[in-house]
Structure 1
């Protein structure tokens, strides 16, 4: 009995599993996972009308295959017109004839490929302008509209207003110029659903547009050379050559579009050639940017070379190559976008890769920016003697990554430009004068008259020396220390180089030693030095002589303290022979 009950329960459990397999199994297994349904995908439209671009391309494809009934499905038609097959075919044929006769559709790459259409124009949402039809003074804009609401997939069709304007427009539909002049054999025989004669005329118009544009460019350049006087120079020739080829390419495209539209080339052919024409236009623009970059680089390098700024030439070359690489990248992205490749993912990848590269090459970028700032500000140049922080040396080269200095020990110090641009730079090469600032410590036995004598004679020496700048020198008795009487001197030596300033300083110091010797006093010895030898006594004769001289100055009111008499300054100027007597003189060339 118990066994039968167990069998009955097993059968009931099996029935439950068969009826509700998913929920029962989930409950038995103790699973808390719920089955999520994938969102339904938007069904594809067999005619490709989900976007404005798909609508235009589908319509061109239909009329190219002469399937006018299918072409009519790209129009917003009234119920009456839609029921009449002949009416639908007539409207599609009329549309094609008007486009062949003087119409124009935007290139496929320019028309929006999104279900929302263009949102950056002045038109209402769900409406895009895709071309126009011109006949005489009448211009009919061609619009496509999204016929679905937000809850349904988009379906773009030529608007009812566009269809109505084409049907009711008072435009005489007649044979195009090509259809009138071409023999029937070239019209009846077709290639790619287009008369062979149209393809032949396209080839002829391409050659004619190129030759005509070349002739016009030649005449234009000839006129410029006659009017512009600088056209014969290297700079003028480079400018003309930079613009000639791109302008000729643009002019060829413009002439080709004008000829083919006026002659009535089939809209199918013109629409297929639109991608090629835009590609040529973008290529011409890129060539123009490339040549302008070459011209600017060449002009800047020659200018930097003339000015002796050799370090800037490498920076100009680097910037030129970087600009060309950017032109190539932009051109590739633009051309891929024209042929219909979605470059959004590629740009995102490039952005992420650029961030990673920037983080990895942070120091390199920092050094490059530092080199650009060095070239722009020019705190130092090749050959300048300067000090960078605690390093002194002569600049030997300024590169894109680092700058090299040769120190007085003849060693080479390489400093990264990023660090150099952030350092404190002291450039000695651009000094217009050199400071002369010795401090003399005289013996404590120096008398006041001897000090007055020293102050006057030392300042007279600076006034008289031709290599000392005319600005009033400063010679002051500044203090009495524990072991000496201190006199500070401040003057400026006028010299072109540091070596010349050292020569002048040497001469002045030797003459000052003579003045000190004649005064009867001497320089004080450092107090911390202990001399065991007998000290030389001060000369009593010279001391008395100096005292008499100072007394005479006082009696005649000629003591040049605290200021010098301007007349005395004029008498002293350049009265010293420099270089001194007996010195070697450089022969004059």
Structure 2
């Protein structure tokens, strides 16, 4: 048995140990409580941060800014399929933000839905795509939280490599310090890289142009025999611009400009490339239709000459309309809403464009009925001239005093159209007056000689003509000549008429008859006895018969093509040496 002092000391020691254990146990309980409390508050905070698509995106982007908390940037990421290491997770978050910056995708928080129960309008699922052009980056609702999807996490490396093909950032780290100086918020080397890119892109485009020139000619040569070099140069210039814009778009993200810079530059590049693409198609329409127009010149019909200008305009209008929609879509403008708005205003547009629609239907009537063709000599109302162009809205007629009259096609449905160009024969009607001292035998011989000259002429219709004495005029014996020319144009008609009139003058000279003109004879009785007029001596009948026959086909006096003095001095087209076509 221990003595009392020893026992007291042992008891005191045991009590002190128990108090220490109690203190340690108390501190452990407090620590566990604090730990549990902090874990619960962090879970609650994470659940609050990722409650909506907007809050999840804000947590992702803001925490990667200079004043953010990088460790919390991955709070709204779905890393269920990996990676598990925190540094790898942070790298993926940074790479995704770099992809958005490089592609010029500035995230507008106000446009992101702030509804925890948001559903995609198309699929109806809990999914939100940040940008339709980057559909791989999207958020999904997992349990109660909105997270950057596991699919986006899995393709993050691929997206980064696709955006940043050239490692300029690593190269920039080796540059001297002056190149890293900040100018207008951007490092100097980035400004230099942008300038080099702008100068480098046209050189690459020119190289592609040389290759595409041969390929384009080879492709088009399958459809057309001749090549329009002017249209080719126009198309290739626009193609050069498109390729240069493509080079800039492909290499611009590698410079690493701020997202706002990239956003503006990408809008400019998209606008330029879209417009260049539309203008390439526009020039290609000219290229093809110019080739078809040359082919149409070798055909006999004029219908293709009339249709080609109309089809050219229709193709160009279609290219411009579709191209405008394409440009607007590339600028991220909602085409569906725009078309819906146009549908609502369609009735008002139709009422406002009533005359235009009437002209359009009038042009369809012109092409269906074909009252005339390009180059026809027509008389439409009070307008007379040659049809020069038929369009959707109007028809253009060049008058004989060289002005151009535009006639709305709607007028064609209720206006008389006299098509001179479609005449099979061209009528020639005239009255020849012979003097009253012509004998009946001479007159008959002249009439028969005129008939013979008509038969001998290569320009006249041989089965329908009339030549007769039709009356006794006030100062002449009137002979009616009614004949038809069978010629392709007005010039040939004038030549035929000219030659016939010369034949009749020579015939009159051979027969000894004179053409009459309005005269008045004054008889003075006192002078009549002193100046007795001699009677006109007429040739013998046999001589008259021989003279009339000599002007017939194959006759010795026949000159159906007119007397030959010179080459005629006919008008010719510049560069061809051929007479211009007439109606």
TM-score interval for Structure 1 and Structure 2 normalised by the shorter chain? 0.3 to 0.5
What TM-score do you get using the length of structure 2 for normalisation? Answer: 0.47
